[in-house]
Amino acid sequence: MFVGVDSDEYVIANKHRLFFTQNNRARILSSLSQIDFVVLLQETSLSGSGDFIRRLKLLHSDVVAYGNTEHEILSKIKDQSRKSGCLFKHLPHRNKLESTSHIAKILQEHFPS
């Protein structure tokens, strides 16, 4: 499994907070046995559709799965995934709690300051 990690700039611009840097998030994800490769995404990864499609083809991707993100970006990813021959799957969060907020809550419960 290949996992893309959004840039710090993207996270700050879209979530207005940053708990872990891109490198830290990549290091955590790469330690999971289910993940084969972590791809560091640049803030403009989706601005040039040719680059996104080229990456999908280089990785021989069959499926592109994305979590919660803006509708405009999801539509772009879906279109680009199909152009590269990949199945697109949207995996929305089941609860309203953001993943970083969830991690912060767990850390606070188990490791109070």
Average pLDDT by consecutive 10-residue portion of the chain (113 residues)? 83 83 91 84 60 75 73 80 84 64 72 71
pLDDT of 13? 82
Q: Alpha-carbon distance 57 to 84, whole Å?
A: 7
Cα 59 → chain centroid: 16
pLDDT of 37? 83
Distances (CA, A) of 5 to 24, 72, 111, 112: 10, 19, 26, 28
Q: Is 41 exposed, middle or buried (0-12, 13-18, 19+ CB in 10 A)?
A: middle
pLDDT of 23? 94
pLDDT of 68? 62
**pTM for the complete prediction?**
0.58
- Write down the domain spans for the chain: 1-43, 46-113
